[in-house]
Amino acid sequence: ATYNKHTKVAVKTMKPGSMSVDAFLEEANLMKTLQHDKLVKLHAVVTREEPIYIITEFMEKGSLLDFLKSEDGHKQPLPKLIDFSAQIAEGMAFIEKRNYIHRDLRAANILVSAMLACKIADFGLARVIEDNEYTAREGAKFPIKWTAPEAIYYGSFTIKSDVWSFGILLTEIITYGRIPYPGMSSAEVIRALEHGYRMPRTENCPEELYDVMTRCWKTKPEDRPTFEYMQSILEDFFTATESQYQQQ
């Protein structure tokens, strides 16, 4: 679709029954207050009649998950994958600083531009944290394989549960879109995590990146790093890997 005759945009509609009008408008207002280069930009909300439309910036390459699985995605070298990770950490560091949480951080909810900029999308589940913690409403569905144990067991979502999800997202990036915990059901994952299981490092995953993942998966939320810290680590790692690649 086009907006103002020349801006290419994405249009999201609210399907009746999928979310209450109030919740939908809350999402829109949230997106308006959260403006950052690494977050998908909200242009407008059309509420005259149902369905309601949310008009956001258009991201040519679609979701990061689809991009990673594509032929073009498979051509991306390690430094680019680290760059994607650093960009997402930057966007999440902004959300962290603003005291928000995302609650559904995974490659399917990151969008990619023609210039391979990554932007965080779908604040459908994001909520302002008032007391630092957001307890899931009964019956709220969330993707188990990306969800921190304390959020699965107690419905306790914080920026630290987003950090756990970011660790899972890093596995999606380094494997070009593989489903986390391959071959395991959600129930098996929950049981394994209880016994201290964590996804092993894949062959092409640098030790430094795996170290970031395992820090994200610390059992105690307070032991997990901040997004601000991970942004600086990943940006430095990107610079280092890029210069290594150029020397080869």
Q: What residues are paired with 111 via a beta bridge?
A: 63, 119
CA distance 13 to 58: 15
Gap between the Cα atoms of 9 and 202, Å rounded:
37
104 among known catalytic residues: yes
User: Is the bond preceding 180 in cis, omega lying within 30 degrees of 0?
Assistant: no
Q: Which of 72, 83, 104, 211 is catalytic?
A: 104
Measured CA to CA, the distance from residue 186 to residue 90 in angstroms comes to: 29
Phi/psi-derived region of residue 26, left when phi > 0, alpha when psi is between -120 and 50, beta in every other case: alpha
Which sequence positions are flagged as catalytic?
A: 104
